[in-house]
Amino acid sequence: MAVITYLEAGRRAVIEEMQRDPSVWALGEDLGRGGVFGQYKGLQEMFGADRIADTPISEACIMGASVGAAMTGTRPIVEMRFSDFALCAVDELVNQAAKARFMFGGQMRVPLVVREPVGMWRSSAAQHSQSLESWYTHIPGLVVVAPATPADNLGLLKSAIRSDDPVVYMEHKNLWPLEGEVPEQEHLVPLGKADVAHEGGDLTIVTWSGMRQACLRVAEQMASKGIGVEVIDLRTLWPWDRDAVFASVEKTGRLLVVHEAVAVSGFGAEIAASVAEALHHRLKAPVRRLGAPRIPIAYAPPMEEQARVSDDSIAAAVGGMMEPAKAM
């Protein structure tokens, strides 16, 4: 095992897949300079400007070129810099890439990976801080991935690059410096398989991306009070691991879904509804979800903090669900 950062794990995944498969290449703005966060540092020198390609400042151009390139036999890694910027290219992704396999009767596939850094980061304000995963889980034909650890960023990105379907790959900006153990040998994490990050028998928390660490801290805090919290990191939002979630809720009888994205119409609602429909007879408390309020994310740190899902808010939700008088 080696200890590396989340950012370096993603960089390693790109290097390994480009070395393994000559059809893999990356394109986006300023990749020759390493990318906005340094996740492509040194790669143009390693692979050349044809495979680490700098593009015009046009997300629609970048995505459109990638869709065409994927349809004609290559595997593009599409760098969008920020998930907010990818909205400029949503027509090419949603109306073309996601639908091509269906519309051509399975004769055409679009094996591309769209890397979209997400989440609140250093007072980045309303246009650089969004988590828009629920937009993409709504679209048939797209795979949606949200890694939360260095090992998963390595293994999931490699699996995403090998996928024959278009993958929206959402990396949380606050996780770039996170360090963790990563296998030094070949490491793949299957798409659609959740990780039981912390075991417990009293309450299930389902989360992903930047909220994993906060939920684990709360699980440890609750363990000191005799409350066993099971934390499931979905890792892949579509397809999501229903079996792992249902098995955990069957055991605990309580479900709290936690995500940084706005709670209204967030992907947590899909999980909550699925569990409520399938396991209503096993629940000891109503399903709850915890997300951001439906407001733009402010630049000012104190106002930004009001939109953030915190350890305290997660702990308060867990505590409330464990009190029988308040639960039903």
d(CA 79, CA 35): 8
Catalytic residue among 128, 187, 198, 259: 128
198 is catalytic: no
CA pair distance 138, 267, nearest whole angstrom? 9
Positions marked active-site: 128
